[in-house]
C-alpha cells in the first residue's frame, strides 16, 4: 500500500438509539445509529405491528364490500 493516501482507520464506539454500545473499526471518530442488531425486529425476534389510526379498517370500509353485500353473495 502507498503511504499517505489512505485515511486513518481506528477503533470507534458505536452507540444506538436503544442504548446499546459496541466497538468497531472505522475512518470516522464516532458513529451513532438508529437501529442495531439488538433492537432490530429481524435479529431480536420482537416484531411490532403498527396499525396507526386503524388504516386497515379504513381501507376495508372504503374499498371493501359491505358486510350485508358479502352475506347476500354468500347465500347465492
Domains of the chain: 10-75 (4.10.80.400)
Q: pTM for the whole thing?
A: 0.48
pLDDT digits (tens, 9 = 90+) for 40-52: 767 666 766 666 6
Read off the pLDDT band of 72 (50, 70, 90): low
At residue 74, the pLDDT reads 66
- Which DSSP string corresponds to 2-56? -TTSSPP-EEEEEEETTS-EEEEEESSSEEEES--TTT-HHHH-------GGGHH
Amino acid at each position: 500500500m502507498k503511504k499517505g493516501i489512505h485515511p486513518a482507520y481506528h477503533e470507534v464506539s458505536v452507540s444506538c438509539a436503544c442504548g446499546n454500545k459496541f466497538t468497531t473499526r472505522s475512518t470516522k471518530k464516532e458513529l451513532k445509529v438508529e437501529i442495531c442488531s439488538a433492537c432490530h425486529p429481524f435479529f431480536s425476534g420482537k416484531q411490532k405491528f403498527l396499525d396507526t389510526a386503524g388504516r386497515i379498517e379504513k381501507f376495508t370500509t372504503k374499498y371493501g364490500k359491505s358486510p350485508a353485500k358479502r352475506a347476500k353473495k354468500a347465500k347465492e
